[in-house]
Structure 1
Amino acid sequence: MSLHTYILFVGASLVLCLVPGPDMLFLRGRTIAQGRMAGLCAAFGINLGAYVHLLVAVTGLSALVLASATAFTALKWVGAAYLVYLGLGALRSKGSLALPLGDTVTKALRLIFWQGFLSDVLNPKVALFYIALLPQFMNAHDPSPVKHLVALGVAGNMVGIATSIIYVFLAARMTSALRRNQAISSWLTKAMGALFVGLGLKLATEKIQ
């Protein structure tokens, strides 16, 4: 694999990271409603989920799932149901979802991390990204295809986490004043819930390309 190919893949990954999708919208919702720490935990959870997709893609299991309409549909509906579940929870909450003070903040942040992880793992579009994009940057006669696939996947995930961190800091800074207002913070929580429900419904109706 040449340096030119590697740079092209990094550039393609950056462009795709900047396109709003379920993970980016989940990240945005957490950051706007709950602040920088919540956004960072969501970002790292999403990034860990991306490594699961990379592992599955390298072992070839993603290809089997995406080749089966039944398996793909099942994964899609599980992911959609999870997003709707998160959204309804936010919509039913009283007041805002501001992070608690003291020791309980660690538990809250851990929950957000795993929610981000599941949000990514249950998104079949991420699996499709690895299956569709990675082979475009591989040579059919590559003597070390697994090593190079892993190198490309790790590079893409590093671009993803860097992009997410920058996004979180910018979004948190722009909305910090809003979260300090209790009424606005409560509205942001409801908006986040509606966003998650909308994402779940959108994911449920999407078809594989």
Structure 2
Amino acid sequence: MHGTVSIYGFLAVGGMLAVTPGPNMIYVMSRSIAQGRTAGLISLAGVMLGYLFYMFGAAFGITAFFVSVPYAASVLGAGGAAYLFYLAWQAVKPGGRSPLEVRELPREQPRRLFAMGATTSLLNPKLAMIFLSLLPQFINYQDGSVLRQSLVLGSSLIVAFASVNGFVAVCSGSMAKFLSSRPGLLQAQRWTMGVVLVALGAHMTVDALKLAGIN
């Protein structure tokens, strides 16, 4: 890992992104609440296709990209930091809505649940930003094994996302009932997430400036 960024920083960023609500989590949560745990898990299986697509696409693309483009790590670092700041704003902005406030959905067959999960994941800009802008910041490009590092880190992210979304699929009904009557707890969670994401974004900005040679 380069600079001041360590595996602990990667795990912190990955963990925060895993628990940050996005299109995939909201889709899995919606299906779990509307049709039950089995529907949620089938939807998650479709979502996993998107994870794998972006991981392999990023892994093979990053290898060629960083060999040919000077200062690419700095540029991607700045983009990744900007994305973290965007997520922080989404977490704390006025009028923000909890992902647990889900409308009723029509029941769907397993095949369609899987296909909709895959489509939601493949069209998810959050995944593209994570694998193309954030993940490269934790790779040592002088190590000579960029592809291996990309696959290892990408697999770790997939495990984190799958674990969190699997938990969501199994527990969405209970969580919705518990949190819907505790708006203060939801508000505290949103602000805590926002503060942590800002801190991570600031740290990544400093690292990007250092890589660019700006002190």
TM-score range, shorter chain: 0.5 to 0.7
CA distance in 1: counterparts of 2:151 and 2:79, whole angstroms: 24
Secondary structure (helix, strand or coil) at the match of 1:101 reads: coil
CA distance in 1: counterparts of 2:48 and 2:90, whole angstroms: 16
CA distance in 1: counterparts of 2:122 and 2:102, whole angstroms: 10
> Alignment partner for residue 78 of structure 1, among 82, 90, 97?
82
Structure 2 residue aligned with 1:57: 62
1:120 deviates by: 0.9
CA distance in 1: counterparts of 2:150 and 2:156, whole angstroms: 10
1:162 deviates by: 3.4
Q: TM-score, normalised by structure 2?
A: 0.54
CA distance in 2: counterparts of 1:67 and 1:18, whole angstroms: 16
CA distance in 2: counterparts of 1:49 and 1:136, whole angstroms: 23
Secondary structure (helix, strand or coil) at the match of 2:103 reads: coil
CA distance in 1: counterparts of 2:133 and 2:200, whole angstroms: 8
Q: Which runs of 5+ in 2 are unaligned?
A: 1-6, 33-39, 108-112, 211-215
8 Å contact 2:87–2:194 — kept in the other structure?
Answer: yes
Identity of aligned residues (%): 9
CA distance in 2: counterparts of 1:159 and 1:73, whole angstroms: 20
8 Å contact 1:49–1:121 — kept in the other structure?
Answer: yes
2:10 is equivalent to residue 26 of structure 1:
no
1:117 deviates by: 1.2
CA distance in 2: counterparts of 1:20 and 1:83, whole angstroms: 17
1:198 deviates by: 2.0
CA distance in 2: counterparts of 1:44 and 1:86, whole angstroms: 26
Q: Structure 1 114/75 Cα, relative in aligned 2: closer, same or farther at 3 Å?
A: same
Larger helix share, 1 or 2: 1
Q: TM-score, normalised by structure 1?
A: 0.55
1:127 deviates by: 0.8
CA RMSD of superposed structures (Å): 4.7
1:153 deviates by: 3.7
1:85 deviates by: 3.4
8 Å contact 1:44–1:113 — kept in the other structure?
Answer: no
1:26 deviates by: 2.6
Q: Which runs of 5+ in 1 are unaligned?
A: 1-15, 139-148
2:103 is equivalent to residue 100 of structure 1:
yes
1:58 deviates by: 0.6
